Amino acid sequence: MTTLRPKAVLCSFASLLLVSLIGLVPGRAWADLMINPTRIVFDKNQRSAQIDVINDGTTPATYRLNIVNRRMTETGEFQPITEPGPGDQFAGQMLVFSPRQIVLQPGTQQLVRIALRKPAELAPGEYRSHLSFDKVADPTLTNAIEIQVKPGGNEVGVTIAALIGVSIPIIVRHGETDASVTLTEVSIEKPRAPGQPGVVALHMNRTGNRSVYGDLTATFKTASGAEQVVAQAGGVSVYVPNALRRVRLTLQTPVGAVLSGGTLRVTYRERTADGGKLLAENTVQIP
């Protein structure tokens, strides 16, 4: 319970409502809701898949499942969309899943089954939608903003319980699909403020009719030949129809450390489970 003066209620109410709507604490959602796998790809003759959903929290939770469509921005964020733009191809109409709603007690799990039904004369290419897991309000608890006035007082209490959901991509590949990716504009950016780490910045350029997905690793090699991994990120994708993704990797070196007089090599590989194939690399000199 947070105590506020009456004239501050309107501003705080709006701020708290924004938090509840856009879900600014996704880490907690993932901590309570475990999903495996976090990405489904239907390729070749595969027609079914399943997802294991686990409630890793301490209270019961209900989730409603829906197919939604999202577009990735050049910086990797997802935006909800309802109408396809140039190059967008949705998979939702081909997917059948069950159940539509799950109730999980703490420590329990539920299998979600997905079936693929391709229409006749489907054009070759990659189709994508997302399966969302939206938390449903518990009617026995306060799951909305509630304003309470203390009897005989001049203070207002505001209580909030945010409802947060997550979504995972469901990808359908049909016919001949391929993609290639290059890494360009690789550089090391200095910290924007004292006490902050530097950044490895780069562009990922995708071509072809399918997305790319893998791990990025930045390795710095000194003039003496010593090598050190200085930044990395797993599960980085560039989705169709995007041709460009701008990536910024936080340096893992101690704050204040200076990388100079060597070479920076950035590699992009398939995930180990997918074979670990090298998809792209670039090496630049750092003065």
Q: Interior CA angle at 69 toward 63 and 71, to 5°?
A: 125
Cβ atoms of residues 91 and 69 within 8 Å: no
**Residue 73 — pLDDT band, cuts 50, 70, 90?**
very high
- The yes-or-no verdict on residue 207 having pLDDT over 70 is yes
- Eight-class DSSP state of 190: P
How far, in Å, CA of 76 to CA of 244, rounded? 10
Structure tokens at 67: 């197919």
Split at pLDDT 50, 70, 90, the class of 258 is confident
Number of H helices, E strands in the chain: 2, 20
Please state whether beta strands 262-269 and 212-222 pair in parallel, antiparallel, or not at all (unpaired).
Answer: antiparallel
Return the structure tokens found at 109: 């799990």
Domains of the chain: residue spans and CATH: 2-174 (2.60.40.10), 179-286 (2.60.40.10)
State how far the alpha carbon of 63 is from the alpha carbons of 112, 140, 248, in Å.
12, 16, 33
* Interval 244-248 mean pLDDT: 98
What is the three-class DSSP state of 272?
helix
Whole-number Å distance between alpha carbons of 76 and 259: 26
Residue count of the chain, please give it: 287
Query: Which residue reads 């930045």 in tokens?
Result: 218
Using a 10 angstrom Cβ sphere, with 0-12 exposed, 13-18 middle and 19 or more buried, the burial of residue 5 is exposed
pLDDT in the model for residue 165: 76
Closest residue by Cα to residue 89 from 160, 169, 13, 30: 169
Question: Region 46-68: what's the mean pLDDT?
Answer: 95
Confidence of residue 27 (pLDDT cuts 50, 70, 90): very low
14-22 long-range contacts (CB < 8 A, ≥24 apart) are: 16/145, 16/158, 16/160, 17/145, 19/160, 19/162, 20/145, 20/160, 20/161, 20/162, 20/163
Q: Residue 28 pLDDT > 60, yes or no?
A: no
- Encode pLDDT of 176-198 as tens digits: 999 999 999 999 998 888 888 89
Q: In which band, very low, low, confident or very high, does the pLDDT at 161 lie, cut at 50, 70 and 90?
A: low
Residue 17, pLDDT above cutoff 90: no
What pTM was computed for the model?
A: 0.80
- Residue labelled with tokens 């893992």: 252
Annotate 135-171 with three-state secondary structure.
ECCCCCCCCCCEEEECCCCCCEEEECCCCCCEEEEEE
